[in-house]
Amino acid sequence: MIKDELLRLLFRDFTGKSPESLTVLPKSGSDRIYCRMVRGDFSVLGVWNPSRKENDAFTGFAESFIRAGLRVPRVYQYLPEEMVYLTEDLGDLDLCMWVEEKRKKPEGENEIVEMYKSVLKELIRFQFDADREIDYNLCYPRRKFDRNSVMWDLNYFKYMFLKLSGTPFNEQLLEEDFVKLADEIEQVWSDGFLYRDFQSRNIMIKEGIPWFIDFQGGRKGAPHYDLASLLLDPYVELGREMHDELLGFYFSLLNQRMNTEKDDFMNEYRMFGVVRLLQALGAYGFRGLYERKPNFTSSIPAAVRQLEKLFEGEGVRKKFPELLRIVENLYTRWASTDTDHRPKPEVIIESFSFEKGIPETFTSDGGFMFDCRHIVTTENTEVANNTGNNKTLADYLDDRKDVQDLTENAYRIIAGALAAEGIGKVKTLRVCFGCSSGKQISVFCAEKVAEMLRREKLAEVIVFHHQIR
């Protein structure tokens, strides 16, 4: 039985009725597949994950967090052997998107500070209150973020980023810095709960309140790591003033839970920040440079800038000289490649009719062409008589899996070309979608892919429909 059919059955078992729609959500940085199932005004997420241990950790931790009064999604149904479960749908608005919208408003910065303070209050509760509820036997792949875990992350950075990006380094000197860094981190108190991936895209905003997801990698660990994951998050670059204010706010919360010297804590925070950002760069290297996923590649400059700030402190600079040299090299190479510092590539997307002929502009300029003629719209004349940019037809097509597959695959191909070795070499790219009439499927696909490219800020996008205005 294919997984979407199994998830439909789970939905029916839970609600007593079948879902009216099932939409597969775009994949991110994991092997998990999410789909949104809706009936009336009730919506759930169906999840398939090939890792049984991760599933056990997520579902078990969710129960523990709910007992501790933390805002995490409820798990409605779980079939361990089939590796599928139903969980509460928290919507699509994450903290990263929320911040982006708030920054457009004059009073937005104050709202951002207050939201982050509320998130930090919850972080403390995860680290200390939830710790009493957690079954650490569920932790995967390791019960504690210890010295071995640190070395895994550091080597992940070495092999998945430094080597893939062709960054030169001295193997022996880098290993010596890695060992020193792991040794120092091993001395830090680490008996709280470590969320492991406490960053903006794992914090959902529902009715103005933060909720928390993707905690299946949690384990025992030091509080500094999750703090660095949030405040040094490459997806949301906080200004220095805001960062320092929030860091001080968190320290005041921590001091209510345990006694610690501020100078010691700040030095430890910088070291954990280095480890976290090196791990993130390893992930961006694997997902972006190796798997050619441009939304990961585009995060590299911000991660490098955050890393460079941590090396401004004399303690870090003097202790880890080879890492310092590497960071300076990365900053020179990557920091100026961010979209804030260079023009975005241009993508021209056209819809056309095969009956009228392939656009001359495509035959002369080249690019990508996608044939949509294998997709039949519908026998429903009320829907079929509309053009692809009409809401009635667009809503209908948006729910169809064959259309989703086409647009998502087209997006991945286009985005991969835009990444062009991770440096953004492509300046202009022409893309054509063709169908029989040039008015329906091709129009919808052109608009949909344009929307996806704009959402990820990968390019300046121009859309032109040859057969309709």
pLDDT in tens, 10-27: 999 999 999 999 998 887
CATH of domain 95-337: 3.90.1200.10
pLDDT of residue 1: 44
Q: What pTM was computed for the model?
A: 0.75
pLDDT more than 70, % of the chain: 92
Buried b (16+ CB within 10 A) or exposed e, 112-146: bbebbeebbebbbbbbbbbbebbeeebbbeeeebb
- For 312-345, write each residue's pLDDT tens digit: 877 788 999 999 999 999 998 887 544 444 456 7
The model's confidence at residue 229, banded by pLDDT at 50, 70 and 90, is very high
pLDDT score of 424? 47
As a whole number of angstroms, the distance between CA 377 and CA 107 comes to 46
What's the mean pLDDT in 231-258?
A: 96
pLDDT classification of 469: cutoffs 50, 70, 90: low
Average pLDDT rounded to a whole number, residues 419-443: 77
Residue type, 80: P
Q: Residue 376: pLDDT band by 50, 70, 90 thresholds? A: confident
Does the pLDDT value for residue 28 go beyond 90? no
Predicted local distance difference test score (pLDDT) of residue 48: 94
Q: For residue 190, give the 3-state DSSP assignment.
A: coil
- Mean per-residue pLDDT, 410-426: 70
Question: Which of 59-68, 288-297, 329-338, 376-385 has the highest average model confidence (pLDDT)?
Answer: 59-68
User: 3-88, what's its fold?
Assistant: Phosphorylase Kinase; domain 1 (3.30.200)
Mean pLDDT of 216-242: 96
Cα Rg of the chain (Å, integer) = 24
Mean pLDDT score of the chain: 90
pLDDT value of residue 8: 94
pLDDT in tens, 353-363: 999 888 876 66
Whole-number pLDDT of residue 298: 80
Between 169 and 398, where is the model more confident? 169
In the predicted structure, residue 419 carries a pLDDT above the cut 80: no
What is the residue extent of each domain of the chain?
A: 3-88, 95-337, 346-465
Nearest to 68 by CA among 116, 143, 127, 114: 127
Residue 100 identity (one-letter amino acid): E
Which range among 95-99, 360-364, 367-371 has the greatest average pLDDT? 95-99
- Where b means 16+ CB within 10 Å and e means fewer, 10-30 reads bbeeebeeebeebbbeeeebe
Contact present, 424 and 460 (Cβ < 8 Å): no
Whether the predicted pLDDT of 145 surpasses 80 = yes
Of 67-71, 248-252, 283-287, minimum mean pLDDT range: 283-287
Mean pLDDT of 139-151: 95
State residue 366's pLDDT score. Answer: 64
- pLDDT at position 317: 87
Q: What percent of the chain has pLDDT over 90?
A: 69
Confidence band of 379 (pLDDT split at 50, 70, 90): low
- Give the H/E segment covering residue 193: strand 192-194
Least confident of 79-93, 111-125, 269-283, 339-353: 339-353
pLDDT band at 381 (very low <50, low <70, confident <90, very high): low
Give me the residue label for tokens 């099932």. Answer: 22
442 near 308, Cβ under 8 Å? no
Residue 238 has pLDDT above 70, yes or no: yes
24: helix, coil or strand?
strand
> Which tokens sit at 72?
């995490």
Task: Reply yes or no: is the peptide bond before residue 141 cis, omega within 30 of 0.
Answer: yes
Q: Where do we find the tokens 């700030």?
A: 309
CA-wise closest residue to 303 among 394, 422, 421: 422
Strand partners, 45: 36, 87
pLDDT of residue 76: 97
Q: CB under 8 Å to 37, separation ≥6 — which residues?
A: 7, 8, 11, 19, 21, 22, 43, 44, 45, 46
